[in-house]
Amino acid sequence: MRTSPLYSGVSTSTDYYDVDRASMKGVSIKTFIFLGIAAIVAIITAIFLPTMLEANPYGLYFVLMFASIIGFISVLIGRSSEKAAKYCGIIYSVCEGLFIGTLSRIIEEILPGASIVAVFSTLIIYFVVLSLFSMGIIKPSNGFVKFALGFAFAAIALVLFTSIFNIFLPIENIGILIAIEAFLLIYGVITLILNFMEASCVIEAGCSKKSEWCVALGMTVSLIYIYIEILRLIMLIVASKRD
């Protein structure tokens, strides 16, 4: 038995050739199932947010903090076990739905239409990357993986540096903030490309359809991250024009 090069939680063997194997179509469908759950929860949260804030604002903050922790744990478990991936993905989608629903409603109060633009922009990015993989323009390579890991470390370092720097000397230059958000958005796109590379390797290795849930969970995490970064970038761009 061997393991796929990009995802250590998915095992392959000759036994898988006797059952249905993973496919990009299956990964895409499962990704949109997770995103659909997150979207439904987000819409419900956004609609009833004022009522929840009036009833108990601190209770809402507690729920969001609790949901973030549970969502993080569910990703760790789901990405390490293909048996748990489906259920962990559902839990993660519900938790993130609460978060992005709250964030989207708050931003919509300030900038109506921003969430719609972010949704369509995220979907465009997804389908562009999917098309590039389908046409063979982007292919799995160890070189890109190394580049992505380096970019990830740079993104983490940037976040840590700006967070610490803001404590002593807050960054007020909108242009710098836009550049930072653009960098973090590019990082999100790179992680999405890695997810597609992971899917490609899982499919070529002949893994079972259960592994599709693992890959779909990873893609869902990347797409929600991209959506949030696009929202933040839109807000900064609008703020820069108003100044």
Kindly report, residue by residue over 157-211, the tens digit of the pLDDT. 877 777 676 656 566 677 878 888 888 888 899 899 889 988 888 888 888 888 8
Sole residue written with tokens 């993905």: 89
Paired strand residues for 3:
11
> Residue 85 is encoded by which pair of tokens?
């991936």
| 35 exposure class (CB count in 10 Å sphere: 0-12, 13-18, 19+) | buried
Confidence label for 147 from pLDDT (cuts 50, 70 and 90): confident
Q: What is the per-residue pLDDT for 29?
A: 93
Question: Whole domain around residue 223: which residue ranges?
Answer: 2-242
How far, in whole angstroms, is CA 226 from its chain's centroid? 6
Q: What is the per-residue pLDDT for 12?
A: 46
DSSP per-residue string spanning 185-234: HHHHHHHHHHHHHHHHHHHHTT-BTTHHHHHHHHHHHHHHHHHHHHHHHH
Among 115, 97, 75, CA closest to 216? 75
Give how many domains the chain has, as a whole number: 1
> Residue 140 is encoded by which pair of tokens?
């799995």
Paired strand residues for 11:
3
Read off the pTM: 0.84
48-91 pLDDT, tens digit per residue, is 887 877 777 777 788 888 888 999 999 999 988 888 999 999 99
